[in-house]
């Protein structure tokens, strides 16, 4: 896919996640989700890649959840397990690949937190997300991953850290969307290298077949 739908654009979460069910019906087994996010973990630098190991569905806590409403049993069960949404095998494969490509210094694993946006976080909000265990924050991805996991798709998630999120009232820098786009453009080639190698090697991981799909937006 080129682009995605966002909650902040006014789309329902049913529409935001609809492509996942289409992929499922098409026979896709694995999806790769990429996004741009702000770094909360103080070790992260702008331009780093975070392999998503888990997420926090903040809108979901407030009832903005793509699986609310009658469950469609054709896709999955009513109460899906979400503790292993991001495949361990795929994470290991991509970490091996980034090490081989010499990218280890700027690749980390971490927890992505979704907020609805469209405003970037206040400092108090950012501090709260950090205390809650989030390493990065963005406005996408989690609904799609939730629906993908519900219908049995395997997921790899990569997040490009496009800006550092301020946790400190004395910091003067202000995040803006142009910076997000600029860093995404700057790192596009590196991410393409990782993904091309990942796709070429994905047959090494048990049960992956060629039915993979890349789903990205800013990156």
Could you list the residues that contact ligand R1P (CB under 6 A)?
6, 35-36, 138-141, 177, 180, 217-218
Shortest gap between Cβ of 128 and ligand HPA (angstroms)? 13
Question: Where in 61-120 is the site for ligand HPA (CB under 6 A)?
Answer: 120
36 Cβ contact partners less than 8 Å away, ≥ 6 residues apart: 138, 159, 160, 162, 180, 183, 184, 217, 218, 219
- How many residues at the interface with ligand HPA, by CB under 6 A? 13
Shortest gap between Cβ of 16 and ligand R1P (angstroms)? 11
CA gap 66, 205 in Å, rounded:
29
Taking a C-beta distance cutoff of 8 angstroms, is the pair 112, 157 a contact? yes
Q: Which of 121, 187, 202, 215 binds ligand HPA (CB under 6 A)?
A: 121
Nearer to ligand R1P, 34 or 87 (CB): 34
Question: Where in 141-180 is the site for ligand HPA (CB under 6 A)?
Answer: 162-163, 165, 175, 180
CA-wise closest residue to 195 among 89, 110, 93:
93
Residue with tokens 């292993």: 84
Q: Kindly list the distances between the CA atom of residue 88 and the CA atoms of 93, 167, 182, 215, in Å, as whole numbers in the listed order.
A: 9, 30, 31, 19
Taking a C-beta distance cutoff of 8 angstroms, is the pair 144, 215 a contact? yes
Q: Which does 140 bind (CB under 5 to 8 A by kind): ligand HPA, ligand R1P, none?
A: ligand R1P
Nearer to ligand R1P, 180 or 208 (CB): 180
Binding segment toward ligand HPA, per CB under 6 A, in 7-15, 36-44, 71-79, 104-112? 36-44
Taking a C-beta distance cutoff of 8 angstroms, is the pair 3, 125 a contact? no
Binding segment toward ligand HPA, per CB under 6 A, in 5-13, 82-90, 133-141, 198-206? 133-141
Taking a C-beta distance cutoff of 8 angstroms, is the pair 28, 213 a contact? yes
Please report, as ranges, the residues that interact with ligand HPA according to CB under 6 A: 36-38, 120-121, 137-139, 162-163, 165, 175, 180
């Amino acid at each position: 896919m080129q682009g995605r739908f966002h909650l902040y654009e006014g789309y329902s979460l049913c529409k935001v996640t609809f492509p996942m069910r289409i992929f499922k019906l098409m026979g896709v087994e694995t999806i790769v989700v990429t996004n741009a996010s702000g770094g909360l973990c103080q070790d992260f630098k702008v331009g780093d890649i975070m392999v998503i190991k888990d997420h926090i569905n903040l809108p979901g806590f407030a009832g903005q959840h793509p699986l609310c409403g009658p469950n469609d049993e054709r896709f999955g069960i009513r109460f899906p397990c979400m503790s292993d949404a991001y495949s361990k095998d795929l994470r290991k494969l991509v970490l091996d690949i980034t090490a081989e490509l010499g990218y280890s210094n700027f690749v980390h694993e971490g927890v992505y937190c979704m907020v609805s946006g469209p405003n970037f976080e206040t400092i108090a909000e950012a501090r709260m997300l950090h205390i809650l265990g989030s390493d990065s924050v963005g406005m996408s991805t989690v609904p799609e991953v939730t629906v993908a996991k519900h219908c049995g798709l395997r997921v790899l998630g990569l997040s490009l850290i496009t800006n550092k999120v301020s946790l400190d009232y004395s910091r003067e820098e202000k995040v803006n969307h142009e910076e997000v786009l600029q860093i995404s453009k700057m790192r596009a080639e590196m991410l393409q290298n990782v993904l091309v190698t990942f796709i070429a090697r994905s047959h090494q991981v048990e049960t992956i077949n060629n039915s993979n799909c890349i789903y990205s937006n800013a990156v």
